[in-house]
Amino acid sequence: MTPNLKHLHPYPFEKLAQLKQGIVPPANQPHIALSMGEPTHATPHLIQEALLTHLHGLANYPTTKGIPELRQAIAGWINRRFQIPADAVNAETQVLPVNGTREALFSFAQCIIDPTKAAPAPDRLAAYTPSLAIPTPVVIMPNPFYQIYEGAALLAGAEPYFLNTLEDSGYLPDFDAVPDEIWQRCQLIYICSPGNPTGSVIDQASHEKLLNLAEKYDFVIASDECYTEIYDDESNPPPGLLQTAYNMGNTAFKRCVIFHSLSKRSNAPGLRSGFVAGDAEILKHYFQYRTYHGCAMPLPTQHASIQAWQDEHHVVENRRLYREKFAAFIDILGDVCTVIKPPASFYVWLKTPISDTDFARQLFAEQNITVLPGSYLSRDFGDINPGLNHVRIALVAPLDECIEAAQRIKNFLNSL
């Protein structure tokens, strides 16, 4: 077995199951699950119909690259959504379908990280220390984070470097805080916008700063944008990395790869459908990796995905439903705690008056509600753990359950 396996941490939901073990919640209150980011809104009929219509495709092996119609639908969506010219994204060379962003975010690091690549030595040392050991490559990621980033880095033989996202910085990563030595060793950075668990959005200026750093230090940016279609202001959608790159003149999207999914956008987590897009040279190598990885998307899924990427009506309605839930949830809790509506995503990142693990355990024991402790989504770094004394609340349940949950959480807070 690879020795890197021993570095992996238990997954957050494993920790949560252990935290709840042995607790018997009140039987007279139905359980409300707000811990997992699993949409429960109805999957659009057009997706279901396309799946049924193309079930005959199960008789054929799909190709890793996917059918041209799917790649064209994705490229067209990128161009429309991020307001770049119709031919800006080449469907043949700059788009690959993936089975949801989770498998792609993980496998991407396995393809990108080169443990034999030495970081550039300072000029004053280059002539005198040619035999220095090659430093461990670094993968930078936000903290708190989607744990796939960390696992991907560790199994690729890289060292994770965490960027604490704190309230003072709007829960956004501070790229200026990264030492030069880390940038020199960095081969890959994961960013997540809108963020999980905070819903914070990286603006164009921050994208520009990161793109300039990537050019200076020669690393790849993996932009996880799977929450980008769930936002509050219809007139102000979150910007994307390719959008900023194109506007800067980086029309080939050098060092940029974005990750998108239908799970949140189209309420289809079980479809396992998404895409990666960006730098053609990077994707050429990633495509070669994927031909061995064995991850071709089934043809019925591809046809269903085409319908999803070409339709925006269900996405607009999806956002309306989340706005309705946020409004009701915050209205109930607003007078007993500080609860902030994020600009995007479907999460509430709630500060807790007691430790986050005690809060989650007691809330389950007394109110039969499951939320996720923030410390399970983060690591100690720089003498702090940015997830401590927070819980992540996913407003994925139906409206009536979210209202009921808010009322129970209010009662719980009043009892502390």
CA separation for the pair 328, 318 (Å, rounded): 16
The pLDDT of 360-383, averaged and rounded, is 97
The pLDDT of 96-125, averaged and rounded, is 85
Percent of the chain scored above 70 by pLDDT? 96
Cβ neighbours around 403 below 10 Å, total? 16
The pLDDT of 219-248, averaged and rounded, is 98
Band (pLDDT 50/70/90 cuts) for residue 348 is very high
Strand order in the sheet with 138-143: 95-98, 274-278, 256-261, 220-224, 186-192, 138-143, 159-164
Give SS3 for 220: strand
pLDDT at 124 over 90: no
Q: Which of 345, 344, 362, 358 is nearest to 409 (CA)?
A: 362
Percent of the chain scored above 90 by pLDDT? 93
Q: Which of 240, 237, 242 is nearest to 252 (CA)?
A: 242
Cα 257 to Cα 18, 67, 99, 151, 235, distances in angstroms: 36, 20, 16, 19, 25
* pTM, 2 dp: 0.95
List of residues 6+ apart from 232 with CB closer than 8 A: 323, 326, 341, 342, 343, 344
Band (pLDDT 50/70/90 cuts) for residue 299 is very high
Q: What is the pLDDT of residues 155-177, one digit of tens each?
A: 999 999 999 999 999 999 999 99
Q: Are 187 and 157 in contact (CB under 8 A)?
A: no
pLDDT at 52 over 90: yes
Side-chain half-sphere of 152: how many Cα atoms within 13 Å? 26
Residue-level pLDDT at 13: 96
The pLDDT of 62-88, averaged and rounded, is 97
Average of per-residue pLDDT values in the chain: 95
DSSP secondary-structure letter at 200?
A: -
Residue-level pLDDT at 294: 87
Residue-level pLDDT at 392: 98
Q: Which of 43, 28, 35, 34 is nearest to 13 (CA)?
A: 35
